[in-house]
Amino acid sequence: MPTTIISYNVNGIRAAIRKGFDEWLAAESPDVLCLQESKARPEQVDFAFAEKLGYHHHWVSAEKKGYSGVVTISKQKPDKVVEGCGMEKYDREGRIIRTDFGDWSLLNCYFPSGTSGDVRQDFKYGFLDDFFEWAHELKKERPKLIIVGDYNIAHTENDIHNPKGNKNNSGFLPEEREWMTKWFGSGFADAFRQVHPEKIEYSWWSYRANARANNKGWRIDYQSVTDNLKDKVKEVRHLAEAKHSDHCPVFMEIDI
Quick: pLDDT tens for 199-226.
Answer: 999 999 999 999 999 999 999 999 999 9
- Res 156: pLDDT: 98
Quote the percentage of the chain above a pLDDT of 90: 100
Read off the pTM.
0.98
Strand boundaries in 61-198, DSSP class E: 70-74, 80-83, 96-101, 104-110, 145-150, 188-190
50: left (phi over 0), alpha (psi -120 to 50) or beta: alpha
Q: Which residues are catalytic?
A: 150
pLDDT tens for 18-68 read 999 999 999 999 999 999 999 999 999 999 999 999 999 999 999 999 999
Average pLDDT, the chain: 98
CATH code for the domain in which residue 135 is found:
3.60.10.10
Number of domains, the chain: 1
Residue range of the domain that includes 55: 3-254
Residue 176 burial by Cβ neighbours in a 10 Å radius (0-12, 13-18, 19+) = buried
pLDDT tens for 113-139 read 999 999 999 999 999 999 999 999 999
pLDDT tens for 166-211 read 999 999 999 999 999 999 999 999 999 999 999 999 999 999 999 9
Strand boundaries in 114-232, DSSP class E: 145-150, 188-190, 204-205, 217-218, 221-226
Q: How confident is residue 1, by pLDDT bands cut at 50, 70 and 90?
A: confident
Report the chain's C-alpha Rg in angstroms.
17
171: left (phi over 0), alpha (psi -120 to 50) or beta: left
Instruction: Decide: 123 and 170 in contact? Cβ < 8 Å.
Output: no
**Degrees, nearest 5: CA angle 134-137-141:** 130
